[in-house]
Structure 1
């Protein structure tokens, strides 16, 4: 985790309207220097709009954007020390790889000797020096993605924006490039702002994540915080897999709450801000934080096994709670020697890890 506290980008109450439609609702956040920062959310949540506002491709309706303390929303894109890597790599087919990487430097008026030197250094950074003379059509999708990245890195921007650059790659290559991108960001020290709708991608790569929905910032934090301590049901449901059970709050005290499910079962667990006595909220429980057992634990729910599904690395057990609610438990196959798999129809207890259950507002 990077520890720099200097802000590369500071966004203050940014609003974006298109006529009567508001794409961004007063978003404020700071992105640190030398940070891999991800804007995460479903299609239409405003993450790409925010990225384009940072780049200068979209005007800011209200609010301000600062780059290392200097206000930039009035600056045209070409005067911002910011580069962007898009979903389609937009490489020039008639140019060699080296010429593609050096094109931006040429447009900035650098001497040809310096263009070749810095383009070569950028290709070396993405491990494509041996392909410098090839044309883009002679490269794989992953190699073309690296060329686009090298072209964006060659001018040595202060901030690099990446708009879902891995979405066109197959799963295996995408996972490899996630690690590669993180290494490049760490080695260059450049602030990366990455846009994706892929939760696993965000968790894998990011120092911090901003989760967005409907043009609003839902939660900002590191990967573990976002996953383990979601602020609301949207974040819990969007980040990974969770069980969301309707409950009624009976008592709240010191960040803990007693509640009951529709079937009458009671439970005491952590509560997020805004959970109040008498409220109808949701209980969030990750499938991997629960153990199916024959005897109750400290915090347990009674259930009946419906079925077990083998999914390769894991076994998913689907159970029914007393009120009829469906609940899923995921058990790693590496735990088969310790974890018992119960047959359909068996009465069981769902024993929760300490701190696993959390009450969330909508």
Structure 2
């Protein structure tokens, strides 16, 4: 498969501040690719550089093999959907969608027909004559998508487009966005700080922090095999334990947990010494005392579908355990001693 975008050693500085530091990554054609990270990590800066709204200080940006780093934004075959939808309030929905086509010089019948196709795709055909103010937030968001897709860009850039919506609407729009990407075959590059959005929609994710790409992979790769403490902690919930490494062989390591219990785990490092171990809360199971590691229950928190059980290992190390309510047989009482079973392959030694 061809690459839609190649970012090659791209650096962006603002005076004495470096927002991006020699970032390199490739995004495949027809891929839903997400730039994920906290505020200030550089993800929106990178998106704006692809769009041409920010200059490249150093490095190259290639679109299907062509270097576009110095190309004006209007000459790039990309469109952007922003957090604020920026619809023209005085124009009807269909005129908003057709606006970009008019700027490209398409005749009225052609742009009306294509705008109609786009509205049908986002399920808003019956709203064509309304003004943006007569639409809900989710409907306005779909109009902005239709407008961006109408000129048939090679790449669609989405800068946190769901952040202004309420939770239930955001969840529904995730599925609609993913379906739109599959239906159109256009490469989507999506910026978000919301890990659930990234995991739900993406073919691959680039996790960013402080101007660097920390890890690139599928949602499963990022969640199950994080490379370092930042990625493990940023994606989902995890228990981070400082452990001693007893031995490393290939992609497996034996480590000593606080309290002296030895386990085997996968590893992202081949350096001995002390490192952090990541254990996802749902990969721990409560078992009868004597059948696993021993722990004391500190607190049980009801979360609807799940229970969060906070425990302490011998030696005082805290852990959190997630149990589905449907699977539980008995809720442990605070203060009780229980056994903990760690699933095979559930722990990951990190390269700090």
- TM-score, scaled to structure 1: 0.95
CA distance in 2 between counterparts of 1:356 and 1:225 reads 13
Moved over 6 A (4+): none
Structure 1 SS opposite 2:98 = helix
Deviation at 1:114, TM superposition (A): 1.1
Match of 1:290 among 284, 287, 301: 284
Residue 335 (str. 1) matches residue 327 (str. 2)? yes
Deviation at 1:82, TM superposition (A): 0.1
Residues 185, 192 of structure 1: 8 Å contact kept:
yes
Deviation at 1:348, TM superposition (A): 1.7
In the TM superposition, 1:217-296 aligns within 5 A as: 217-272=213-268, 274-277=269-272, 279-295=273-289
- Deviation track 1:88-119 (CA, whole Å, cap 9, x = no partner) reads 00011111001111111111111111111111
Does 22-31 or 105-114 show the bigger shift? 105-114
Match of 1:74 among 66, 70, 76: 70
Deviation at 1:321, TM superposition (A): 1.2
Q: What runs of 5+ residues in structure 1 fail to find an aligned partner?
A: none
CA distance in 2 between counterparts of 1:214 and 1:246 reads 24
Considering only aligned residues, what root-mean-square deviation do their CA atoms show, in Å?
A: 1.1
Residue 106 (str. 1) matches residue 98 (str. 2)? no
In the TM superposition, 1:28-39 aligns within 5 A as: 28-39=24-35
Residues 296, 351 of structure 1: 8 Å contact kept:
no
| Match of residue 164 from structure 1 | 160
Aligned residues: 352
Q: Compared with structure 1, are the counterparts of its residues 282 and 95 closer, same or farther at alpha carbon in structure 2 (3 Å cutoff)?
A: same
CA distance in 2 between counterparts of 1:247 and 1:159 reads 44
Residues 23, 215 of structure 1: 8 Å contact kept:
yes
- Deviation track 1:257-297 (CA, whole Å, cap 9, x = no partner) reads 2222343332222111x3422x2111111011110111555
Structure 2 SS opposite 1:89 = coil
| Match of residue 55 from structure 1 | 51
Residue 344 (str. 1) matches residue 334 (str. 2)? yes
CA distance in 2 between counterparts of 1:347 and 1:266 reads 20
Deviation at 1:353, TM superposition (A): 1.1
CA distance in 1 between counterparts of 2:55 and 2:257 reads 48
Residue 308 (str. 1) matches residue 304 (str. 2)? no
Residue 324 (str. 1) matches residue 319 (str. 2)? no
Q: Compared with structure 1, are the counterparts of its residues 193 and 258 closer, same or farther at alpha carbon in structure 2 (3 Å cutoff)?
A: same
| Match of residue 203 from structure 1 | 199
Residues 289, 337 of structure 2: 8 Å contact kept:
no
| Match of residue 142 from structure 2 | 146
CA distance in 2 between counterparts of 1:269 and 1:301 reads 16
CA distance in 2 between counterparts of 1:63 and 1:97 reads 40
CA distance in 2 between counterparts of 1:296 and 1:255 reads 30
CA distance in 2 between counterparts of 1:330 and 1:12 reads 41
Residues 211, 217 of structure 1: 8 Å contact kept:
yes
CA distance in 1 between counterparts of 2:274 and 2:125 reads 60
Deviation at 1:9, TM superposition (A): 0.5
Deviation at 1:336, TM superposition (A): 2.1
- TM-score, scaled to structure 2: 0.98
CA distance in 2 between counterparts of 1:51 and 1:301 reads 47
Does 112-121 or 30-39 show the bigger shift? 112-121
| Match of residue 179 from structure 1 | 175
Structure 2 SS opposite 1:200 = helix
